[in-house]
Structure 1
């Protein structure tokens, strides 16, 4: 890996690192037309955290071709700590998004660059600087990467690092994923799931069954349940809460909104001290709304989110 002349090298190592995959989304616009966009749930979370003002890094492998270079440049533009990105002369990981509402994906990436990520090659001293590590998505289904990341999450937890987890359900997460799901839920401090995630992960039409199982595995975890246009619920040791998103004149794009909501929650938890769980949920829902309004991950800012926070109404949760 080499740094380009325009690379910004941070004086300090990142205190927040999101581990997993960065990929290229090929989004179907209409019959026969597609557009590409850099993405991947863990990468989106890292970008959103940086846009909100947290010293942030994405740790993963990307290709050296034009797709990988686009991810590298977008990471640099978002002021990520680029020392955590590893580039390999391997094929890119690509997600074909053939349907947006709800999103439907097909992934292509045999022996692709993401699988060659090596935690031992991260910059010296990175563990001492780390306060929070995020994991999830298809990286935890793709061997040999998955085994490395799970072992890393467990070792970081043992060192006192806080862990967040977003399974981000995809079709490859069948019964073979059950053990990983349980392991990650048991060690995570914060878990984010959608109602669709729960139905897929637990193979049940009733997403409440999945919520109950996660609670049984880890009753101390903070769990955020995202419900699309209906907002989100937060199950916190201090309170169970529900919030509706602020009214938006126009929803431009919902792709990645869940990742941005996760970043809003994590940013608030990392920087909000002992503030009430209501404030953490407001941050999450306002961030997701900001993404849907057209800002996406790239146009996100703390100022934009705070302008929407007062419009988020929080109440005691009623089971959705």
Structure 2
């Protein structure tokens, strides 16, 4: 059985979202001690969606979650930050779980051989769901799990044909170690914005130095806007021959879970709301959102006021 949370399957969609995040929502199981675990809502693309909604953008998450306490909590947490839930489907399948071993950075493995996320059905979305879309974000493990991955790649290509700007964050995990390159090439080819970390580059291009790996990635789509985050709070934003570097503002870090996703949201929000900003200002927006996320434990959406304060600080200091 399948349903679409809060919405109808017929008729034009009122107040259709302008920003879409399409992929996986899951539950992180965090080890606190050898026999103690806690659960937290998460998922790369869903984290970006929540952060965008918290920043005030008209955003929807499209994906499937289970019809149980785990799925219900994902629906509740979506609504709590004002995320449009009309594209969120609940299905009678097991939840997708990420088992997170403690450490910095955290280490993950996933449980969900036939879990709810794999049963997302784009054809069941409400009529007019993409009519107002300006940007759509893809990435994470949803693009490494079939049959979902093929559906999402095809969906990204269709949205691109409609004039929707595509963003992509591979967010490398071990299940991408083999056979992922065709997906990487295809998604890079369609993407207007591509975000990677230095850890992503090491996983995607094993054996290559970071500079060579970045050159290899850029060759897949020389015209895209690239956000590269590196250790020590350093990030680069580039398009063609134009590039800039900046450092994140100093904050008291609770943890870094979800910081990369928040940085993506900060960049996309800046591009959406302030398209005429110079490259460095967009980079500052990304760093401000990522740093704000580090002030709270777990993949908690950054507070808009904190993001604005950190952005103003970076702009005033001209950090580079």
**TM-score using structure 1 length:** 0.93
Partner of 2:25: 22
Query: Structure 1, residues 32-69: CA drift from partner, whole Å, max 9, x if none?
Result: 21110000000000000000000001100000110101
Partner of 1:303: 305
Q: Distance in 1 between matches of 2:168 and 2:14?
A: 28
Alignment length, in residue pairs? 311
- 1:1-320 maps to which residues of 2 (within 5 A)? 1=3, 3=5, 11-237=14-240, 239-248=242-251, 250-294=252-296, 297-312=299-314
Q: Using the TM superposition, give the Cα deviation of residue 128 of structure 1 relative to its aligned residue in structure 2, in angstroms.
A: 1.4
Q: Distance in 1 between matches of 2:296 and 2:4?
A: 33
Q: Distance in 1 between matches of 2:70 and 2:313?
A: 38
- Name whichever of 25-34 and 47-56 sits farther off: 25-34
Q: Residues 82 and 246 from structure 1, CA distance in 2 versus in 1: closer, same or farther, beyond 3 angstroms?
A: same
Q: Distance in 2 between matches of 1:11 and 1:229?
A: 44
Q: Residues 211 and 315 from structure 1, CA distance in 2 versus in 1: closer, same or farther, beyond 3 angstroms?
A: farther
Q: Distance in 1 between matches of 2:238 and 2:5?
A: 42
Q: Distance in 2 between matches of 1:4 and 1:182?
A: 35
- Name whichever of 300-309 and 64-73 sits farther off: 300-309
What are structure 2's unaligned runs of at least 5 residues?
8-12
Q: Distance in 1 between matches of 2:69 and 2:86?
A: 19
Q: Residues 2 and 173 from structure 1, CA distance in 2 versus in 1: closer, same or farther, beyond 3 angstroms?
A: closer
Query: Structure 1, residues 139-193: CA drift from partner, whole Å, max 9, x if none?
Result: 0111110000000111111111100000000011123001100111111000000
What are structure 1's unaligned runs of at least 5 residues?
none
Instruction: Say which SS state the counterpart of residue 130 (structure 2) adopts.
Output: helix
User: Are 2:49 and 2:83, in contact at CA under 8 Å, matched by a contact in 1?
Assistant: yes
Instruction: Say which SS state the counterpart of residue 169 (structure 1) adopts.
Output: coil
Instruction: Say which SS state the counterpart of residue 173 (structure 2) adopts.
Output: coil
Q: Distance in 1 between matches of 2:59 and 2:261?
A: 15
Instruction: Say which SS state the counterpart of residue 167 (structure 2) adopts.
Output: strand
**TM-score using structure 2 length:** 0.93
User: Are 1:100 and 1:255, in contact at CA under 8 Å, matched by a contact in 2?
Assistant: no
Q: Residues 297 and 173 from structure 1, CA distance in 2 versus in 1: closer, same or farther, beyond 3 angstroms?
A: closer
Query: Structure 1, residues 235-292: CA drift from partner, whole Å, max 9, x if none?
Result: 13472111111111x2102100000000000000011021111110000001111011
Q: Distance in 2 between matches of 1:148 and 1:110?
A: 17
Q: Distance in 2 between matches of 1:147 and 1:2?
A: 21
Cα RMSD for the two superposed structures: 1.8
Instruction: Say which SS state the counterpart of residue 72 (structure 1) adopts.
Output: helix
Instruction: Say which SS state the counterpart of residue 185 (structure 1) adopts.
Output: helix
